[in-house]
Amino acid sequence: MERRFLRCAIAVAMATSTFAPSALAQTVADKAAAEGLFDQGRAAMQEGDFAKACGLLERSQHIDAAVGTLLYLAECYEKSGRTASAWATFREAADAAAAAREPQRARTGRERAQRLEPLLSRLTVQVAPETQHLQGLAVDRRDRAIQPALFNVAVPTDPGEYTVTVSAPGHEPWSGTVTVPERGGRVSINVPALRKSSEPDKGATATTPTPPPAGAPGPDKPAGAADAPATMSVSTSPGESRASGQRTMGVVLGAAGVVGVGVGTFFGLRAFSKNGEAEDCTTCTNAQGGVLIEDAKNAATAANIAFGVGLVALAGGVVLYLTAPPSNGTAASSTFHARVGPGSVLLGGTFR
């Protein structure tokens, strides 16, 4: 036991020594990449290229989240005119700093967010009640989905032009454009009740094209070609359909009966085999002999059941097939009975 534990400990130590440096190297590489992006973002801010700077800082934050990166990103949003994004990011930075026990940065984030709050512009997406309850409703504002909890709510939004698209299964889509102004502007867009998709007239009946007269050229027949033989459709009478179904059932039932007889044969041979082993085993103990005899009895019981069911199914299939009504619709009458007893199967019936 001690040796086994020692081998397990060695294996764990080897695995740890193999993978730990790889994970550590990956972490170091990620931090280095995030630092590089952060430095490039600050340089772009100093050059006044805020669109580029915000993108670099976003990537840095995604790779390695940090409170300082959030504060710089929020300032970048503010200087590029994205007041709502700046306000939300300053608040996020304040919460992250408080969790990291950095009170100075937490206070800075809260103060900057409070300063921006009066300048926030807000957009309200008014959705008609009939539309709100549609299954599979999707409401999108430019590049993001609007959740149902934000319907009819004035949401802080960056200034700019937005296209609102609305869709639902079985209804025609709708879209509208709205411009959110700067510095505390408030605007709303109204989404009407969606119209159901156009459906074909259910009262219209399908028309069957009239075949061209004999000898007339058609799309698949060039002029002057010989007439093709006329095609006649033959309908099947109820008697023929019933006869065909009964014969099919007879074949299926007969096949099941053959399988049952085969299974019964297998277990019957097994019963003979186990019984012979019990009789020939002179060196077996009483317990071993009892097991062989019990196996023989079980196999014999299974053989009797399988034979009985198989023979009944086979006989029933034959009867169904032979008593199927003829094609002229006249039905043959018959009676059939079967009884399974211990070691025997009795079949009988009358047919006319």
User: Between 237 and 75, whose confidence is greater?
Assistant: 75
pLDDT above 50: residue 172: yes
- What pTM did the predictor assign? 0.49
* 219-226 contacts at long range (C-beta below 8 A, 24 or more positions apart): none
pLDDT of residue 2: 41
Q: How far apart are the C-alpha atoms of 335 and 318, rounded to whole Å?
A: 13
Query: How do strand 121-127 and strand 154-157 relate by DSSP bridges?
Result: antiparallel
Q: How many Cβ atoms from other residues are within 10 Å of residue 24's Cβ?
A: 10
Look-up of token digits 């009939």? 130
Residues 193-227: tens digit of each pLDDT: 999 987 544 444 444 445 555 444 444 444 444 44
Q: What is the mean pLDDT of residues 254-274?
A: 77
pLDDT of residue 7: 45
DSSP type of residue 221: B
Q: How far apart are the C-alpha atoms of 36 and 19, rounded to whole Å?
A: 26
R_g of the chain, CA atoms, integer Å: 43
Q: What percent of the chain has pLDDT over 70?
A: 64
Inter-helix orientation angle 238-280/286-322, to 10°: 160
For 239, the token pair is 């008697």
pLDDT averaged over the chain? 75
Q: How far apart are the C-alpha atoms of 78 and 45, rounded to whole Å?
A: 12
Query: How do strand 174-180 and strand 160-167 relate by DSSP bridges?
Result: antiparallel
- Within 8 A by CB and 6+ apart from 95, the residues are 106, 109
Q: How far apart are the C-alpha atoms of 266 and 242, rounded to whole Å?
A: 36
User: Between 123 and 332, whose confidence is greater?
Assistant: 123
pLDDT of residue 288: 58
pLDDT of residue 198: 79
pLDDT of residue 281: 63
Residues 146-162: tens digit of each pLDDT: 999 999 999 999 999 99
Most confident of 74-88, 204-218, 248-262: 74-88
pLDDT of residue 273: 75
DSSP type of residue 196: B
pLDDT of residue 82: 93
pLDDT above 60: residue 330: no
User: Between 229 and 116, whose confidence is greater?
Assistant: 116
Q: How far apart are the C-alpha atoms of 46 and 50, rounded to whole Å?
A: 9
pLDDT above 60: residue 233: no
User: Between 226 and 242, whose confidence is greater?
Assistant: 242
pLDDT band, residue 241 (cuts 50/70/90): low
Residues 86-142: tens digit of each pLDDT: 999 999 999 999 999 999 999 999 999 999 999 999 999 999 999 998 999 999 987
pLDDT band, residue 303 (cuts 50/70/90): confident
Q: How far apart are the C-alpha atoms of 272 and 276, rounded to whole Å?
A: 6
Q: How far apart are the C-alpha atoms of 258 and 307, rounded to whole Å?
A: 9
CB 87 within 8 A of CB 120: yes
pLDDT of residue 345: 47
Alpha-carbon torsion angle 64, 65, 67, 73, nearest 10: 90
Give Dmax over CA atoms of the chain in angstroms: 106
pLDDT of residue 242: 60
pLDDT of residue 22: 55
Give the DSSP H or E segment for 274.
helix 238-280
